[in-house]
């Protein structure tokens, strides 16, 4: 069975624990992994920020270390969707499941995008906790400021057009409900021999 | 070429990284942060910095994140991290600060001035108006992303590229930066390299710096960024064709016009490294700029 990689929501105080519990309870067949992302639970902080290009580094490294024989289905929650999209575009996912993908509204004019991004930088600069060394064993305070608001609709459209693997989009639901939906969807995508 | 050692070599912890600082002049004088270009380091200001200090400033040349002796990168998409590093460094040194910057560092200084306007008094940008618009075109996303992933994994597996000797590194550098003197290439290698594996040498810059995953950026966004720079800016560019000074005249005019309070001077007899080739002229332009707008 195709492996499953779960990228938990940015800022989830339990890291990937809720997903690991749900996968065990579900008796998920096949290999799976739901690691704590950097700055969450027991994973040390490593990222510069929490922006798309940074979010994808940890799962990329994880996939390299875990050495699955085929690219996984990547299930990503919230802003981690951007990492899942990059993995799909770069040929490192067999399919992606985007749960609660952020929908904006995003600033669209170039000056608005820049202004929003600089405001985000100033908020990070002015938050002493976000500047202090990242704590170990609890959620990094930097995550509360989310990702950079840089979002260009043309770029996103171009990126989405480069995804050639199945994509499932789901709204907020509990981990067990999501897993049930993913199983049903993935079985429908993979005809029995 | 005789270059004195910096007055002080220190480190500062900001924005969850450690930055190496090379300092000249009175530490209580108004700070000028000197920002090098991509793949370089703070010691490239060994000639210019003491002369900026002599104008009455605390000249602080920084090794940017992922360069020289400073902290490593997490990913090649480090532009914003570096902006925040500079904003936090400005506050640590005592804002408002001034910037003297080169190439990639010029872009960083302008971006920091736009993001933290209250922390930046003026900017001198030496051939730092960014690459030609064509460089912002991303290409096929699937190809770009797959290549970047492969390159990232290579860095994780193999680390930095190794060179047999520092002489070899200097020669290679001069093949790229064809106008750079032998002395300067050797100086940049001496302070920008370290012993590597198997008796070889490697550049200090983080090999991850070279690997970008692409992102939403365009000429339009660059101009929007420049529109938001409100402090006085002096742009210096060399007149001679050179590697990495490949903006068309029209692009240059457009970018200079986007910065509200900007003056521009061409420097004869210099290519991309204007401050290495014509330091006297650069210092004179900076002196006049300060005379015009105040310290």
Considering only residues A82 and A151, tell me which one the structure prediction assigns the higher pLDDT.
A82
Residues of chain A above pLDDT 70, percent: 98
> What is the rounded average pLDDT of the residues B272-283?
98
Q: How many CB atoms lie within 10 A of CB A151?
A: 20
Q: How far apart are CA A173 and CA A179, in angstroms?
A: 10
* CB contacts, 8 Å: A151 with chain B: 216
Computed over every residue of chain B, the mean pLDDT equals: 96
- At A192 the pLDDT is 54
Question: How many contacts (CB atoms, under 8 Å) link A and B?
Answer: 118
- The strand pairing partners of A76, in sequence order, are A7, A98
Q: How far apart are CA B87 and CA A124, in angstroms?
A: 11
Kindly indicate the confidence band of residue A108, based on its pLDDT and cuts at 50, 70 and 90: confident
Interchain contact, B145 vs A152, CB within 8 Å: no
* CB contacts, 8 Å: B212 with chain A: 53
Q: How many CB atoms lie within 10 A of CB B135?
A: 11
Considering only residues B98 and A152, tell me which one the structure prediction assigns the higher pLDDT.
B98
pLDDT score of B245 more than 90: no
3-state SS assignment for residue A148: coil
**Tell me: the pLDDT tens digits for B213-234?**
877 888 999 999 999 999 999 9
Q: Is A110 left (phi over 0), alpha (psi -120 to 50) or beta?
A: alpha
pLDDT score of A193 more than 50: no
Interchain contact, A52 vs B140, CB within 8 Å: no
pLDDT score of B200 more than 50: yes
Interchain contact, B138 vs A151, CB within 8 Å: no
Cα B216–Cα A109–Cα A145 angle in degrees, nearest 5 = 65
Q: How far apart are CA B107 and CA A71, in angstroms?
A: 38
Interchain contact, A110 vs B88, CB within 8 Å: no
- At A62 the pLDDT is 96
Residue B182: both structure tokens together: 């032998």
Which residue in this structure is represented by tokens 């999501």? Answer: A178
pLDDT score of A150 more than 80: no
Show which residues on chain B lie within 8 Å of chain A, measured between beta carbons. 14-16, 65, 73-78, 80-81, 83-84, 87-88, 91, 114-116, 138, 140-142, 145-146, 148-149, 152-153, 156, 212-213, 215-216, 218, 220-221, 223-225, 227-228
In chain A, the residue whose alpha carbon lies closest to the alpha carbon of B221 is: A110
3-state SS assignment for residue A133: coil
Q: State how far Cα A143 lies from the chain centre.
A: 13
> What is the rounded average pLDDT of the residues A175-184?
94
- At A154 the pLDDT is 80
Pairing of strands B233-238, B17-24: unpaired
When mean pLDDT is compared across A149-153, B11-15, B142-146, the lowest value belongs to A149-153
Residues of chain A above pLDDT 90, percent: 70
- The strand pairing partners of B267, in sequence order, are B238
- At B199 the pLDDT is 93
Best of A116, A118, A126, A141 to substitute, by most chain B Cβ atoms within 10 angstroms, is A118
- The strand pairing partners of B18, in sequence order, are B13
**What's the whole-model pTM score?**
0.95
Q: Does A133 touch chain B (CB under 8 A)?
A: yes
Q: Does A135 touch chain B (CB under 8 A)?
A: no
Q: How many CB atoms lie within 10 A of CB A133?
A: 8
Q: How far is A44 from chain B (nearest CA, A)?
A: 13
In chain B, the residue whose alpha carbon lies closest to the alpha carbon of A165 is: B142
Q: What is the ipTM of this complex?
A: 0.94
User: Which of A109, A131, A158 minimises the CB distance to B88?
Assistant: A131
Burial pattern B229-253, b for ≥16 Cβ within 10 A else e, equals: bebbbbbbbbeeebebbebeeebbe
**Tell me: the pLDDT tens digits for A50-67?**
777 889 999 999 999 999
Max Cα–Cα distance, chain B, nearest Å = 54
């Amino acid at each position: 069975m195709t492996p499953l990689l779960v990228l938990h929501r940015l800022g989830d105080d339990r890291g990937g624990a809720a997903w690991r519990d749900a996968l065990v309870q579900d008796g998920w067949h096949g290999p799976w992994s739901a690691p704590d992302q950097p700055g969450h639970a027991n994973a040390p902080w490593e990222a510069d920020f929490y922006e798309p290009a940074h979010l994808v580094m940890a799962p990329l490294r994880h996939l390299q270390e875990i050495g699955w024989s085929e690219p996984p289905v990547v299930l990503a929650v919230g802003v981690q969707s951007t990492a899942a999209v990059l993995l799909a575009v770069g040929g490192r996912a067999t399919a992606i499941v985007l749960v609660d993908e952020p929908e904006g509204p995003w600033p669209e004019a170039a000056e608005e995008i820049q202004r929003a991004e600089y405001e985000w930088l100033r908020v990070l600069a002015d938050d002493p906790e976000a500047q202090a060394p990242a704590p170990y064993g609890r959620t990094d305070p930097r995550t509360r400021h989310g990702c950079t608001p840089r979002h260009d609709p043309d770029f996103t459209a171009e990126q989405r057009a480069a995804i050639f693997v199945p994509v499932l989009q789901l709204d907020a639901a509990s981990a067990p409900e999501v897993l049930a939906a993913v199983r049903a969807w993935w079985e429908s995508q993979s005809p029995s021999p | 070429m005789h270059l004195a050692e910096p007055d002080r070599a220190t480190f500062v912890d900001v924005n969850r990284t450690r930055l190496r600082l090379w300092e000249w002049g009175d530490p209580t004088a108004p700070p000028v942060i000197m920002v090098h270009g991509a793949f370089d380091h703070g010691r490239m200001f060994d000639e210019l910095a003491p002369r900026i200090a002599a104008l009455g400033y605390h000249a602080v040349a920084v090794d940017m994140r992922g360069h020289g002796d400073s902290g490593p990168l997490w990913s090649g998409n480090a532009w914003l991290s570096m902006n925040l590093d500079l904003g936090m460094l400005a506050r640590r040194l005592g804002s408002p600060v001034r910037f003297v910057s080169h190439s990639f560092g010029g872009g960083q200084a302008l971006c920091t001035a736009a993001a933290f306007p209250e922390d930046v008094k003026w900017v001198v940008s030496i051939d730092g108006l960014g690459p030609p618009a064509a460089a912002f075109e991303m290409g096929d996303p699937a190809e770009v992303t797959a290549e970047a992933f492969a390159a990232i994994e290579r860095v994780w597996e193999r680390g930095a590229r190794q060179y047999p000797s520092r002489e070899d590194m200097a020669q290679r550098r001069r093949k790229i930066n064809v106008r750079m003197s032998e002395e300067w290439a050797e100086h940049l290698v001496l302070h920008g390299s370290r012993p590597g594996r198997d008796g070889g040498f490697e550049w200090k810059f983080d090999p991850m710096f070279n690997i970008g995953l692409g992102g939403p950026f365009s000429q339009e966004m660059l101009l929007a960024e420049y529109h938001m720079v409100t402090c006085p800016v002096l742009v210096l560019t060399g007149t001679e064709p050179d590697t990495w000074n490949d903006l068309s005249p029209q692009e240059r005019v457009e970018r200079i016009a986007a910065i509200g309070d900007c003056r521009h001077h061409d420097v004869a007899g210099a290519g991309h490294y204007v401050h290495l080739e014509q330091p006297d002229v650069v210092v004179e332009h900076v002196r006049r700029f300060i005379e015009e707008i105040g310290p």
